[in-house]
A = this chain, B = another copy of it.
Amino acid sequence: MTKTHKNKYTAVNHLTIKKTMTVNELVKAMESVGVLGSKRIAAACNIMESMIKDKDCAVFLGCAGPLVPGGMKNIIIDMIENKLIDVLVTTGATLTHDMAEALGYHHFQGTAKVDDVELNKKKIDRIYDSFMPNEVYEGMEDFFEKNLAVFEKEKMNVKEFIKKIGELLPNKNKSILKAAYENNIPIFCPAIADSGIGLMIWGQIAKGKKINVDAFDDLKDILDIAWDCKKVGVIYIGGGVPKNYIQQAMQLSPKGANYGVQITTDREEFGGSSGAPLREGISWGKMEYKAQNIEVFCDATIALPLLYAALKERL
């Protein structure tokens, strides 16, 4: 029987695993496999490739979730160092985790099957099955103490505040903050106060130090970027504030995103921004009517390495 249905549908080609495949060979094979999650992976990789190869396209990456304790840091750094993204929006937690590692601390491979009372006595903070020693806060406090003059000097917005941290961090440990600073990629973090960094700044304020960071001022910066570029690609790893902050920049700028990829484990029926499908953004003007877009319903620590390894092979 023909492999093309009379209504012009193409037959599902079953994925055949060869002895040794590169990740890109696997992801390409997922493309014609047919359907469900594997096809979403293939489609997401193609859309990411398109937005990155499109010279006119500015790529906005929104990252939520425990990417640093989860061991995904180097993928974000690699995207920055290879200039694959133009804007990074993330959470205060990710910046805190990244800053801690930049200062020489580590996250540790732990377990969720543990007595949290014991961990508390050992001064270990648990992030599911990753452990962060409480001592990181001492290192962060020292950092801000040492550099206080810089932060007290002038009024700045959140983007500038984050950039300043990146500038002042030591070079010897890889970090998102340092890589973004060196490659002049702006990092936005609207909820910066909701983080260990926020707590450190509170500590200084409590001591009567004057640190003035404006909550609204960097909106103009992300909007300018959205306004000035010819096309936009958005990549959302998880949802939350990082996704929404990029979405609203698209909403207010004259055009929506032309390319969109979202990795999420949330679902649309609960109505939150994190689970909202990208096409919902069309109603808001956040996505172009004919934007290429796909959701991948998967743990980001599985989908992101898979996508990025395939992507890197292609670039």
Residues on A close to B: CB < 8 A?
1, 3, 5, 7, 9-24, 26, 29-30, 33-39, 41, 64-66, 69-75, 78, 93, 104-110, 112, 116-117, 119-120, 122, 124-131, 133, 158, 161, 174, 190-196, 198-199, 201-202, 205-206, 211-220, 223, 238, 240-241, 244-245, 248, 251-252, 265-274, 276, 279-285, 289, 295, 297-303, 305-306, 308-309, 312-313
Contacts and interface: CB of A to CB of B under 8 A. Distances in A.
A210 to B, nearest CB: 10
A220 B202 contact: yes
A30 B303 CA distance: 12
Given A194-B241, A206-B220, A302 B298 contact: yes
Contacts of A206: 220
B106 A1 contact: yes
A106 B22 contact: no
B122 A14 contact: no
Where chain A touches its partner, the secondary structure class is: mixed
Copies in the complex: 4
Which of A195, A196, A273, A305 gathers most chain B CB within 10 Å?
A305
A72 to B, nearest CB: 7
30 contacts: A12-B71, A14-B72, A16-B78, A20-B313, A21-B22, A29-B305, A34-B70, A34-B107, A35-B110, A35-B127, A35-B271, A38-B70, A39-B301, A64-B272, A120-B282, A120-B285, A124-B283, A125-B283, A190-B192, A191-B241, A193-B218, A202-B252, A205-B217, A205-B219, A212-B214, A215-B215, A238-B272, A240-B274, A269-B297, A269-B299
Given A26-B309, A213-B215, A216-B211, A130 B15 contact: no
Contacts of A26: 23, 305-306, 309
Contacts of A193: 158, 190, 215-216, 218-219, 245
A196 B251 CA distance: 10
Contacts of A298: 37, 298-299, 302
A116 B283 contact: yes
A265 B119 CA distance: 26
A281 B128 CA distance: 10
A62 to B, nearest CB: 11
B106 A12 contact: yes
A75 B116 contact: no
Contact of A282 (B116, B128, B211, B274): B116
